[in-house]
Amino acid sequence: MSKLIARSIGKRFPTRGDDLVVLLDVSLELDTGESAVVMGPSGSGKSTVLNILGTLEPPSSGEVSIDGCDPFSLDERELARFRNRRIGFVFQEHHLLPQCSVLENVLLPTLADGARDRTGEAESRGRALLDRVGLSDRLDHRPAELSGGERQRVSIVRALIQQPVVVLADEPTGNLDRASADGVADLLSEMHADDGAVLIVVTHSERLAKRFGRRFDLVDGTLRPH
């Protein structure tokens, strides 16, 4: 069974008048090691798709299966744990905690379960990944002391620290200049190739889109192969 399956996802938001129908029929199936790019105009529902696949929001209709599990059948606590373990997020804005160091930010997901890193395994992995993205001399820096590209590299490491099944990146290079954007794109595709997660990237950039496996356009609430 594929690692990530979306079957005929629909999403509507209640409004005072008619519901706002954002997604009509989004279906997608990706296996370990596969990647996809989702493109589409602003407001077409790309972030809504990622929020649903990332279990942050339930669909109004249709089904999601991640690693063989329907996440929306879990209770709130189980779902939070599932999300923390199985899904990595990279957003346009870095969402790093300003008061925490680079290393602490990267290790945050590993502390959320209340599980202590007794063996130091998570910390070793964090240090190795940060080394891999060229930030081993920035471990004690605060996010404000980094460039935009460096912050996104930290975000990518944080997204991968739990060895998730699915990595979702919502316009990860949207705020970066071209050189930093290329660096972040290289990193996402390299690390994805090694890690073997399912990767979905939302972007407006043709340059970025070319680097990933399958390409889809979100049009009229439907995901269409490009």
Task: List contacts with ligand ADP (CB under 6 A).
Answer: 13, 20, 22, 40, 42-48
48 binds, among ligand ADP, Mg ion, none (CB under 5 to 8 A by kind): ligand ADP
17 binds, among ligand ADP, Mg ion, none (CB under 5 to 8 A by kind): none
CB of 55 to ligand ADP, least distance (A): 15
Q: How many residues does the chain have?
A: 226
Query: Longest C-alpha distance within the chain, in Å?
Result: 55
- CA-based torsion, 61, 65, 69, 74: positive or negative: negative
CB of 131 to ligand ADP, least distance (A): 33
114 binds, among Mg ion, ligand ADP, none (CB under 5 to 8 A by kind): none
User: Is residue 221 a contact partner of residue 25, using CB atoms and an 8 Å limit?
Assistant: yes
**Chain residues in the site for Mg ion (CB under 5 A):** 46-47
Which residue, 135 or 216, is less far from ligand ADP as judged by CB?
216
CB of 23 to ligand ADP, least distance (A): 8
CB of 99 to ligand ADP, least distance (A): 28
Decide the pairing of beta strands 4-13 and 61-66: antiparallel
DSSP readout, 65-125?
EETTB-GGGS-HHHHHHHHHHHEEEE-SS----TTS-HHHHHHHHHHTTS---TTSHHHHH
59 binds, among Mg ion, ligand ADP, none (CB under 5 to 8 A by kind): none
